[in-house]
Structure 1
Amino acid sequence: MDNYVNIVKLSVGTETVEGLQAWQAQKRAQTADGLPRHVTRMWPKREAEILAGGSIYWVIKGVILCRQKILRLDEVIGQDGIRRCAIVSEPEMTRVAATLKRPFQGWRYLQAADAPIDLAPGRAAEDAIPPQLNAALAEIGVL
């Protein structure tokens, strides 16, 4: 049994994995040491389980398409004085089997046993499937 838990998060405003990568390449989406981060309002209660090997799985246009290993959780205090959590991850994205995910707010825990499987490294070099086709294929269980 796996002793870690993952997080699943909507990538709002991006259309493709490459779009998410472009966003994370911007300074404002990085930590001081240059790692990608996503700042969220809530601090995960299952922090120890996440840091024991969890990843952040990204939902793009209603489909989980990739993941990044979570390295740490940093405290961020906004200009409003509110404590937030920066989920800091490895820059490398691993593509996963396309899996439909209904819209939700914030983030959700994702058990390791329920996580989409990683695609073979050679599959990342293939031409990207248009998001609508990707969602349709995932819906019928082809991807």
Structure 2
Amino acid sequence: MSRGRIARWMLEEIGQPYRTVVLDYGTTMKAPDYLAINPMGKVPAITHRGVTVTECAAVCAWLADAFPGAGLAPALDDPARGPYLRWMFFGAGPLEAAVTAKSLGLLAPADKARMAGYGSFDQVVDALETVVSDAGPWLLG
């Protein structure tokens, strides 16, 4: 699932109206107007209450906090907040990096895996399987 689709799904989950601007990959996404919003030329990017947020996990975290009535994130003082943030950013960090590297055939040799920042694909999957089997059926219970 694309990062843009994940952000749109989150927008649907909060149940508030929003406006979508569709960008062509490689053309309007790399145009100066959009690069001023996101210098990486990637989606998603949202502007809410005058604040622009890019990066899928950041967009999802922002929206969950901006619309607490949707019940999509633990409150700031809830002990579940730490695990919630951990697994949200695990998906955007180690999991996405490991899946992308494996899909592209860019697996590091075992003696250099620690330099990849996430270890190995198998370590990432094992971590995810462990937390789901312990908490189940969801990451947070």
**Shorter-normalised TM-score: what interval?**
under 0.3
The higher relative CO (CA closer than 8 Å, separation ≥ 6) is in 1
More strand by share: 1
More helix by share: 2
TM-score (ref. length: structure 2):
0.24
Considering only CA atoms, is the larger Rg found in Structure 1 or Structure 2?
2
TM-score (ref. length: structure 1):
0.24
